[in-house]
Amino acid sequence: MQSRPDSAGASAPSPPQDKLSTSEYPLQEIGSRYKDEARDSDELSLDLESGNLPLLPSEVDGMEAQSGKFERDPPFSCTPSGFCAWLRGPTPPHVYHINPWFPSLQAAPARLIDQKFPRKSSKIALLFGGLIFWIVVFFACFKASVAGQEVPGFGQPVKLSCHHRLWSNSTNCGLNGDLCRPFEDQSFAFRCPSGCAAAILLEPYVVGDQELNYRPLVVGGKPLEVGDQNSSIYRGDSSICASALHAGLIDDARGGCGILHRTGEQKNFQSIMQHGIESIEFLSSFPMSFRLENEASSPDSNKTTPIKCSDARWSLFAFTLIWTTFLSLVVTSAPAFYSMMYFIVWFQVAMASDPPSIGSYYDLVSIALGRFLPGAFVGFVLYYFCVRYTLKNLDAHWDKTVLWLGGCWVGALNTDTFDRIPISRLTPHDIQQQPGALTALIIVVGSLIVIAFGQAHCYRREGRFFPTISIYGVLVAVVLILVAVPNMNLRIHHYILSLLFLPGTTLQTRPSLLYSGILIGLFINGIARWGFDSILQTPGALLDGAKLGTVPPKIYPPSTTDANNLVFSFPDLEPHADGLSVLVNDVERFQVFRPKDGQHFPDFTWARTYPDEVEYFRFGLVHTNALGGLWYEDFSPPAVWGADGNFVFPDSEIPEDPGSESKSG
């Protein structure tokens, strides 16, 4: 048995030198650690001061490693140097990352896919299979809903927008309305989309002696007895789909189909409130009118059957929403998620939810594909510089689905969401004339200011306040330069708003998820629906039928031979005008140009169309273009020729608010 050595005589082994220093000098280790932290903080502060950090976020792995260290936030100070130091944020910066609520639940769908399809190739095949499945189902259902409807005796219905009219306006239809013929003896089936109750006038429009704006253009429609049936007659310049809503033939939520019959010249269009729309009264005559019905009979039978069709946009949207929600929960790769959502949302908007006003199915496909290629390139740029920093390494898939994808759909369905705000266009002209626009603009700007302060606080804590504010300094400078361009007007489109605001969402916070999704949806809606419209437009392009602000011609009272005949003379019209146009009952009835020999304009003689009928007269100057064609100045307010023979000019104050019809030829 081996004896145990004596503890007094045995020498204990010496500990390693590093352990000895640690155990004997613990404060020295702590002090050196804080010196290292201080050195790291000083280096990071130097980087922030010298501008070595990128303008947009770069890889944040190093910052994430430092985020566990002691965070030192400089106190707020009102001195310039202290305030700048406070704006630089804490050292090391606080890098935001969304920690998911109920992480096991949020990861469950993706974990199930990993278990069933562990190989990367199988996941890629499954991803493309899901995309192909959506493409096949969506386009098959959409084509069946558009091209599969047949109305007996009329063929496929003509696809209309909510603003389509037979008679665009008095000057576009030419003298006596000949450019808008035929007036009667023609019928066709039509198809209206959903949501046409919100299709209102956005510029002043004159009907008789009334100037109308921001309401549906439906003139007449009071049921009249025609034979054994009641028939509603509408004036020819009424919006077809709004008139169908007024008549109760279609539903605002689902759209519908009908048959339009041109009924020629009619008079006495009476107003009536039906189905939430109040029509406009016009008690004189008009050369074009129409009536609507929703029943058709086949050529082989006299039996009539109701026409049944509906807008498939909401059913297709429901399918797309369910499918994108499923994909969002199972796709964990940020590039794959963004690419699939961008593609699906684009074609949902371009084909079904907010398509261009094109009648043919194949024309829609052509336009959607034509705009998709440049739109996809810009979408990639937006992802690379902005969106990927919000979606990168995101484990909160339910948050991503609700906030980013939900926000994307809110922006993509702009017609049904943000378009309800009473601001048609961000131009001074529209904001001044649209009721409620100024109040809505104040609320929107106030909300944006609150959001901007919240985002600025987060950028300060991440140490990226000055790089981000420098980006917006450049953007503001560019906008100011564009505003200063002479003879051009700045037009802020949907996609421009997205490009301006997306650099301010490069944070991984829940509010940034929501903002980023909304802005991407707005960008898709703007390009898929309208294309890349110019940010600078001419004043004429922005008018779009609005007032030019010109002074109407001075007209002298007519001479009357009897109660049904008038003669107008024009001895001293403005020398800059090339001609004169006269509208009678909102139809161009007289157009004359300045004689070459310098003589006066010829007289205009007018005989009342129907005895004892009120008639309305408006006068406007005409100009010729250098390359041909005509354009019209603002027409005068309507003068009224009463049934008793009295001719009444409008009040002297009314010429400051003239008629709105103008045309570029």
Q: Which of 517, 577, 524, 525 is nearest to 552 (CA)?
A: 577
Gap between the Cα atoms of 602 and 621, Å rounded: 14
Q: Which tens digits make up the pLDDT trace of 140-177?
A: 998 888 766 778 888 888 889 899 999 988 899 999 99
Q: Which tens digits make up the pLDDT trace of 559-579?
A: 887 778 899 988 888 888 889
Whether residue 372 contacts residue 346, with contact meaning beta carbons closer than 8 Å, is answered with: yes
Gap between the Cα atoms of 276 and 274, Å rounded: 6
H or E segment and range at residue 432: helix 428-433
Q: Which tens digits make up the pLDDT trace of 362-415?
A: 888 999 999 999 999 999 999 999 999 999 999 999 999 999 999 999 999 998
Gap between the Cα atoms of 566 and 555, Å rounded: 13
- Indicate the angle between helix axes 510-530 and 437-461, nearest 10 degrees: 130
pTM of the model: 0.80
Gap between the Cα atoms of 375 and 521, Å rounded: 12
Q: Which residues pair with 165 in a beta bridge?
A: 239
Question: What is the per-residue pLDDT for 304?
Answer: 77
Confidence of residue 520 (pLDDT cuts 50, 70, 90): very high
Domain residue ranges in the chain:
158-306, 313-488+497-529, 559-648
Q: Which CATH code, of 3.30.420, 3.30.70, 3.40.50, 2.60.40, is assigned to 559-648?
A: 2.60.40
Question: What is the per-residue pLDDT for 522?
Answer: 96
Bigger pLDDT: 227 or 472?
472
Q: Which of 449, 513, 438, 471 is nearest to 96 (CA)?
A: 513
Tell me which range, 99-108, 227-236, 401-410, 416-425, is most confidently predicted by mean pLDDT: 401-410
- Residues of the chain above pLDDT 70, percent: 84
Gap between the Cα atoms of 348 and 413, Å rounded: 10
Confidence of residue 621 (pLDDT cuts 50, 70, 90): very high
Whether residue 289 contacts residue 232, with contact meaning beta carbons closer than 8 Å, is answered with: no
Gap between the Cα atoms of 159 and 190, Å rounded: 6
Question: What is the per-residue pLDDT for 271?
Answer: 94
Greatest CA separation found in the chain? Answer: 150
Q: Which tens digits make up the pLDDT trace of 278-316?
A: 999 999 999 999 999 988 776 666 677 788 887 888 999
CATH 3.40.570.10 fits 158-306, yes or no: no
